Each structure stands twice: as C-alpha cells, then as structure tokens.
Copies of this chain bind each other. A is one copy, B any other.
Amino acid sequence: MDKKAIGFLDSGVGGLTVVKQAMKQLPNESIYYIGDNARCPYGPRPAHEVIAFTWELTQFLLKKDIKLLVIACNTATAVALEEIRQRVDIPVIGVILPGSRAAIKNTDNGRIGVIGTEGTIKSGVYEQTLKAKDPTIQIASLSCPDFVPLVENNQINSSIAKKIVYETLQPMTKLNLDTLILGCTHYPILRHQIQNVMGEQVILIDSGAEAVSEVSTLLDYYEIAAHYSHRQSREYCFYTTGAKEPFFNIAKEWLEVNDLNVQEVRL
C-alpha cells in the first residue's frame, strides 16, 4: 500500500482523457498531471526534442514524489518510453502496448486502423507492435496533424472540427476496418465526431483507457495501490507550462469537475 500519487504527463490536454479513466477506475489514487501546452503539439517535432521535453516533464513529476509514471501521450511513448524507463526506478507505463493489445483482442476481420500524430505514425511503432503479435493483421495508418490543435484550441464542437475530421478520415472509411486505434490521447475528446465518420460498426480503441487497466494491474503487482482509507485525502493537481485559463476550461469540461487545482509552471 502506498498513498503517493500517480504521475501523468502529456504534450497538452490530451492526457486528461487518461486521467478521466484513472479517476473512475482508481478512486483511491492521487493524481499529478503535467501538460506541456507551451510546446504543444509534439507530433511534428523531431524525436530528440520530444525525448528532451518528456524527460523535463518526468523530472518535474519525480520531484513531487510519484510512485508510478504514465506517459499519457502516444508521441512521447513512441519515441521516449524506453529511454525514460532506463533513467528512472519507478514503473513507467506508455499508451501504445495497451492499445495494441486491445485492438488485436477486438478485431474479427483482422483489419485495424491507426490514427495518430505525424510523430507517432512516422515512428511505425503501432505497426511493429501489432505485427509482432500477429503479422497476418492488416494495418492502415493515417496521421491527422490537424486534430490536436482543434482540441487544444477548444474548437471540438465547431463546424470546422466536423469538416476537418470528415475530410481527414475519408480514406479510412473505405478499407473495411472493424477496429480503429485512437493513437493519440487527444482523440477521445473528438470521439463522437470520429465515430460519426467511421460508422457505428467500427470499434474505437481508446489507448489511454486501456493504459489505465495496465496501471491498475501494476499497482497491485508491485503492491503500491492506495488503500481505501487514502481516498479521503487524495489529491488531484494539474500543472501546465502554458496559460492556466484555457487549460482549466478544457479540463473542467472534460473531467466534469468544477474545483480543479491548476497551476502554471516554468520548467
């Protein structure tokens, strides 16, 4: 039993989709979250930069004394997970393996789509992970560089969002996919629009939600889950490298909580 917080990091607000699942599935746990909104999006950045930024966010959370770290960002998981794991001595969980596992479990026709940022798609990490488990799986990958800015600018329900999601995903609708991995933690915020374009027959895999099941397993495995008695004093703290106001507004709406503790930080 360990009442220390779980740390979550992301390039911006996308990791809040993972936090929402964690608040639901792990109600005894404290959560510290940092979003690097000042430098978002990570998708188009070179790998060495994403690794450097991810390490800065990790160090910030380590100073807060966390017991487990979730890299709640697909781009950062794709390029930095291995390196961060080697550098720290707490368990570190990414979002790509859990999403891949869930997709393979779900597919009936063996045709899986992956959408993500340019960085994630270019890394080929979902293809490698899926193919290592089953090379007969057919995979279609598509980068959607306009989705993260839509979410970060809180334009989710705008007509421009509908148009962009529709036009971007058109090529994916003709491939007879039965499973689509939302390979970016920002995308569940656009879930409704994505499902509309893809059709109800396509199951959307939320890589972040799957990652939280993995967190739950590892907390038990390492015997570091918080006790029920810690629930009373659990803490939710949110930090952003950007401006407090827009982060607060998106977080409040997405997490459906009014009194959020959000602080601006300089790394």
Which A residues contact B (CB, under 8 angstroms)? Answer: 1, 25, 28, 91, 93, 97-98, 101, 105, 131-135, 213-214, 216-218, 220-221, 225, 227-228
Most buried by B among A131, A225, A227, A228: A228
Contact B220 A97 (CB under 8 A): yes
- Known contacts A101-B216, A216-B101; decide if A132 and B227 are in contact (CB<8 Å): yes
**Contact among B135, B213, B214 for A221, CB-based, below 8 A:** B214
With CB as the reference atom, state the residue of chain B lying closest to A132. Answer: B227
Contacts of A228 in B (CB 8 A): 131-135
Copies assembled:
2
A68 nearest CB across to chain B (Å) = 12
Main secondary structure of the interface of A (DSSP, over half): helix
Contacts of A91 in B (CB 8 A): 221
Contact B28 A133 (CB under 8 A): yes
Chosen A-B contacts, 7 in total, with CB atoms closer than 8 Å, are A28-B133, A97-B220, A132-B228, A133-B225, A134-B228, A213-B217, A218-B221
With CB as the reference atom, state the residue of chain B lying closest to A137. Answer: B228
Complex formed: what's the CA distance from A45 to B217 in Å?
A: 30
Complex formed: what's the CA distance from A221 to B85 in Å?
A: 11
Contacts of A218 in B (CB 8 A): 217, 221
Complex formed: what's the CA distance from A79 to B220 in Å?
A: 17
- Known contacts A97-B220, A101-B220, A220-B97; decide if A132 and B214 are in contact (CB<8 Å): no
Contacts of A225 in B (CB 8 A): 132-133
Complex formed: what's the CA distance from A49 to B132 in Å?
A: 42
Contacts of A131 in B (CB 8 A): 228
With CB as the reference atom, state the residue of chain B lying closest to A136. Answer: B228
Given contacts A1-B132, A97-B221, A213-B213, 11 further A-B contacts (CB under 8 A): A28-B133, A98-B217, A101-B217, A132-B225, A132-B227, A132-B228, A133-B225, A135-B228, A214-B217, A214-B221, A217-B217
